[in-house]
């Protein structure tokens, strides 16, 4: 995961794979789970 800094450069802030979770807060709250991005099942 990369985040855009005040200097206009991107910096790596996390590295997650498979079922690991990452909770981003900027610019809005979102949870990223890499294995969920390629899952064929969809939640309602």
pLDDT digits (tens, 9 = 90+) for 9-43: 999 999 999 999 999 888 889 999 999 888 676 66
Q: What pLDDT sits at residue 38? A: 84
The Cα–Cα gap between 1 and 40 comes to 23
Contact (CB, 8 A) for 18 and 1: no
Contact (CB, 8 A) for 1 and 13: yes
Nearest to 31, CA basis, from 16, 41, 12? 16
Contact (CB, 8 A) for 37 and 30: no
Q: Rounded to two decimals, what is the model's pTM? A: 0.63
Residue 36 DSSP class: H
């Amino acid at each position: 995961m990369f985040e855009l800094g005040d200097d206009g450069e991107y910096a790596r802030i996390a590295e997650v794979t498979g079922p690991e979770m990452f909770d981003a807060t900027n610019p809005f709250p979102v949870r990223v789970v890499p294995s969920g991005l390629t899952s064929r099942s969809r939640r309602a």
